[in-house]
Structure formats: C-alpha cells, structure tokens
Homo-oligomer: A and B are copies of this chain.
Amino acid sequence: MNPTAAILLIGDEILSGRTQDTNGNHLAKRLTDMGIDLREIRVVPDEQGRIVAAVNALKGRYTHVFTSGGIGPTHDDITADAIAAAFGVGIDVREDARAILASNYTDPEDLNGMRLRMARIPDGATLIDNPVSRAPGFSLGNVHVMAGVPAVFTAMVESLLPGLIGGAPMRSVSVRIEQPEGQVAEPLAALAKAFPDVSIGSYPFVQNGVFGTNLVARSTDETLLKQVEAHLLTIC
C-alpha cells in the first residue's frame, strides 16, 4: 500500500474567488510521481477554529497532511498558531528560525515584531528550507506547513519531498478520442471490469463545439497498463 496524503489550502482569497489556487495541482502531480496517493484536498478560511478542525480531521486519516498559506508576517497569518493548537503544543520564536530570518536584513531593525512572527515555530517541529525568501516552513508530526505564495510553496515542496518515503509511482496512459463518452461507455465499463487493478477514467471535453473524451488508465503495474492501452486503442 502506498502512503496517503491530504492537502489543506488555507485562505479567504481562494474561497472569495480572488485567487485561483495552483499549489494543489502542483503538489498533486509531484505526489503522484513519487507514489504518494493524494486522497483529499480541502480549502478553509483564515479562521483558527476551522484550521484546527481540518488538521485534526486529516492528520489521523492520512500518512501526510500538506498545508499551504497563512505563515507570513501579517495579522491574518494564523496557521502556525492553529497547528500548535491542533497538536496541543506551545509555540514561540525559535532561535534557529530567527537566525534564518535575520539573514534577510542588513539593518537588524528591519526584523520588526511582525516579521518575527515568521520565526514562531510550534514545539517539536523541524524546519522546511525556503531558498526563495528565507522564512521557513515546518513539519510537526505528519503535518507539513508551507507558504501560500506559489514560488515559495513550490520551493518548499522541493525541500521537503526528498525526505519523505514514496511508494510505487502511479503510471498512466491516455487516449484521446473525438467522440462523446456515451459512444464508448459500454466497452469502457467492460474493460474496467476485466481489469479491476487498473483505474480507468473517462474525461469528456468540449472543444470548438466538438464533444471528445480523454480515456485515462492509471496503475502502478506497467504490464497491466500496456494491456489496457492496447484495448483502449481498439475502442476508438
């Protein structure tokens, strides 16, 4: 069995529609590549109660929980405190995190009180390196807390993932047909039944007024996948 994961996106700006999230999709692809099965994504607002409840619901259910957002210096950045609350541990400015932050500033006064908030790390956490803007993320237990800014999030993901244990990578083959999916639904259902260890999906699209379908088979077993691909090519 592969390790499992959930992603928790934290931010009013996603729920208001102001921001189109891309961090979830980026991490989803990276996890698929390394054989960690992403089983759920949630988006919650910048409210401590909601973050705590979501973290507690997810961290017991999956091997890993990855969060994005709410670890900057401003008043609405409350993720670190929420994680500490979810785990029932203390949180304070930590010297190694403060030293990393300080390396950003030639004038020590620039490391003001609000910026120091970014060095507040829950007790027992390990830091996640941020080569883009220094302020670190952190892992506490199986919860990995990263920034919301995509450039920083993706850099933190690359710092974090090599240290996690992957599984059998999920491979996929995709066949595109220019027919509506209703045309191929019957042979596709038969194929799915014949290959229960291959996940076979059908993704319709509309392009320039034409209804087409992407047929996608996914499995960790390359041999099975090649057999299914051969069948898919005869369906079209």
Contact = CB atoms under 8 A, between A and B. Distances in A.
Interface in A98-132: 110, 112-115, 117-118, 132
Contact of A28 (B15, B38, B115): B15
A33 B144 CA distance: 34
B20 A172 contact: no
A45 B39 contact: yes
Nearest to A152: B206
B42 A42 contact: yes
B185 A74 contact: yes
Contacts of A32: 16-17
Interface residues of A, number: 73
Contacts of A115: 182, 185
A199 interface: yes
Given A73-B181, A170-B16, A189 B25 contact: no
Nearest to A74: B202
Contact of A112 (B133, B151, B186, B200): B186
A87 to B, nearest CB: 22
Contacts of A133: 180, 206, 211
A188 B29 contact: no
17 contacts: A9-B41, A13-B203, A14-B41, A15-B39, A16-B170, A17-B38, A19-B25, A21-B24, A40-B44, A74-B181, A74-B185, A75-B185, A75-B192, A75-B200, A76-B202, A115-B185, A148-B203
Given A74-B185, A132-B206, 20 more contacts: A9-B41, A12-B218, A14-B28, A15-B41, A17-B25, A17-B29, A18-B203, A42-B43, A72-B182, A72-B185, A72-B204, A73-B182, A74-B181, A75-B193, A76-B200, A76-B201, A133-B211, A148-B203, A149-B204, A151-B206
